A and B are shown apart, each in its own frame.
Chain A
Amino acid sequence: MEVNITINGSEHASDVEPRTLLVDHIRRTVGLTGTHVGCDTTSCGACTVLMDGKPVKACTVLAAQADGSEVTTVEGLKGADGLHPVQQAFTDDHGLQCGFCTPGMMLVGASLIAENPDPSDDDVRWAISGNLCRCTGYINIVKAIRTAAARVAESSNGS
């Protein structure tokens, strides 16, 4: 069946089997491999993408269900003026070890900051509670997301 999904701002029309999962569509058909497949059982959140702005587990959404929606993957975080504040903060605060969970963590972080400009540690931990880091590097992930929020708030106050 024909699906048309806007991924990181560009439209991708393709013919997919109904059983194609959104994560496989993004990785194999569209060729964006920053979205990872971890547990493949809705537990780990490595496959997180933003669907119409909300983080979802792309291993548990059919590509056909995303027809007509706007999807953001980790490749879409970077803007014209460089890295997204969350990406920069993960670099500065050492928010990753092996990096496997990082795309999902950063997308959840970006989505949280868009809704809550000043998240507490608890807010961040609650937001990432559907995403697992098997290196257990949560402390720096929380720190990085809060750093990003503070920088975004600072730059919007200054402008």
Chain B
Amino acid sequence: MFPSRFDLVVAQTVAEAVEAKVDAGEGGRFLAGGQSLIPMMKMRVAFPETLIDINRIGGLDAIERSNGHLQVGALVRHADVVASDSTFGAIAAAAPWVADPLVRNRGTMCGSVAHCDPEGDWNSVLLATGAEVIAHGPGGERSISIADFVDGAFTSTLGEDELVVGLRIPVPSGRSGGAYLKLERKIGDYATVAVASHLELDDSGGISTAGLALTSVNPINTKVADAEALLVGQQPSDELFAEAAELAAAAAEPRDDVRGTAAWKRQVVRTYTKRGLAAAAQQAEGS
């Protein structure tokens, strides 16, 4: 299989890439790792007229902590996230479970975020930890909170000519922990169900910040805001996490498919929420 014909623009700078996108109009697409886009083009699900390759742009491949944030450039591959010692909690937990080792060597975290596949892992993780997506367009740069960015299945609020150039993820200042529990049939398969959890504790051991988000059980990566609100201000306990798990299960609308029945998937959400929050709390207490 091979894609339909397209023109390739190899951009050397962000400005050049954005300019090429403006010129290409609706038929233009940015190409980073290509681990979702190229398969879609081969299957003729996507058929851009112009591909704008951003892989040669300098300065976009760093993952580092700066000003209380984890900054991830547009060319940071999943494998770089796995190898990085700047990550924390749910981000560190999720990275090794994205796709498979070979795909992780090419695919980028920002590309995956921009792709907005509801079965993708990163957007759930970022909905739990909080993050800003840095977008560069013809009018300059702006940041979009991840909750506003993720708009639907394969749909974000990114402007037509904007390129995701990076992510800014707040690094918790106090005690914190996180988990990403993913059930998959085999390595490299989409999640049957996955749950991202993130907890920050105050000096008295109470929960000061909570993040909880679900993958593959709705048409969009889902932040479970009512469970987060329930957790904040409470002391971690199995009873509390069981209560949050009920809210998570209620927020999930999975479908029967080859990966399992809806009822079973909802039960996995319940179990993984309890386990994920307990693991996050344990990590936070030990930090």
Contact = CB atoms under 8 A, between A and B. Distances in A.
Interface of A: 1, 17-21, 24, 40-43, 45, 48, 51, 54-57, 59-62, 64-65, 108, 126-127, 129-131
A18 B39 contact: no
Interface of B: 1-8, 10, 31, 34-35, 38-39, 41-43, 51, 53, 55, 79, 99-103, 105-106, 187-188
B15 to A, nearest CB: 21
Given A18-B7, A20-B2, A40-B1, A55 B105 contact: yes
Contacts of B2: 19-21, 24
A129 B38 contact: no
A64 B8 contact: yes
B34 A129 contact: no
Contact of A1 (B8, B99, B103): B8
A61 B105 contact: no
B8 A61 contact: no
Contacts of A54: 79, 105
Contact of B103 (A24, A51, A65, A130): A130
Given A21-B2, A41-B39, 6 more contacts: A19-B2, A45-B100, A56-B105, A61-B106, A108-B102, A129-B187
Contact of A65 (B6, B55, B101): B55
A55 B99 CA distance: 14
Dominant secondary structure of chain A at its interface with chain B: mixed
A92 B20 CA distance: 54
A130 B42 contact: no
Contacts of A41: 1, 39, 42-43
A62 B38 contact: yes
Given A60-B38, A130-B188, A55 B102 contact: yes
Contacts of A48: 102
B53 A60 contact: no
A65 B5 contact: no
Nearest to B43: A41
Given A41-B39, A62-B38, A129-B100, A19 B3 contact: yes
B186 to A, nearest CB: 8
A110 B157 CA distance: 43
B6 A19 contact: yes
Contacts of A130: 99-103, 187-188
A60 B39 contact: yes
A54 B103 CA distance: 11
Contacts of B51: 18
B42 A129 contact: no
B6 A129 contact: no
Interface centre among B34, B39, B105 (most CB of A within 10 A): B105
A43 B1 CA distance: 14
Contacts of A62: 8, 31, 34, 38, 53
A65 B4 contact: no
A146 B188 CA distance: 23
Given A42-B35, A65-B34, A130-B187, A57 B5 contact: no
A127 B38 contact: no
B101 A129 contact: yes
Contacts of A51: 105
B102 A19 contact: no
Interface centre among A21, A61, A62, A64 (most CB of B within 10 A): A62
Q: Lowest 6 CB-CB distances: which A-B pairs, in order?
A: A130-B100, A18-B8, A129-B187, A130-B102, A54-B105, A19-B3
A42 B31 CA distance: 16
13 contacts: A17-B5, A18-B7, A19-B41, A41-B42, A41-B43, A60-B103, A65-B31, A65-B53, A108-B101, A126-B101, A129-B187, A130-B102, A130-B188
A17 B10 CA distance: 14
B6 A18 contact: yes
B38 A61 contact: yes
Nearest to A1: B8
A40 B187 contact: no
B5 A55 contact: no
A65 B3 CA distance: 15
Interface centre among A42, A55, A61 (most CB of B within 10 A): A42
